[in-house]
Amino acid sequence: MAKTSDRFERVYSQGALNVMEIWVDRETGVNYLFHTSGNAGGMTPLLDREGKPVITSVYKYDS
């Protein structure tokens, strides 16, 4: 099994104080939206128009 630090990959980031990022789970391909502002933050699955999770093709990587 892969190390925890290798499971997720940040594929998009914007902002400095109000940060918005998209992370991809390399095992499932599910995309997550992460937002932080100051000391508060949260993560949720990124959904398409039909309310289904956005899934990226899973690519192999060395663990």
Query: Averaged over 48-52, what is the pLDDT?
Result: 97
Residues 6-44 as b/e (b if ≥16 CB within 10 A, e otherwise) read: ebeeeeeeeeeeeeebbbbbbeeebbbbbeeeeeeeeee
Query: Averaged over 36-63, what is the pLDDT?
Result: 88
Predicted TM-score (pTM) of this structure: 0.79
Query: Averaged over 13-23, what is the pLDDT?
Result: 95
Instruction: Report the mean per-residue pLDDT for the chain.
Output: 88
- The pLDDT assigned to 62 comes to 53
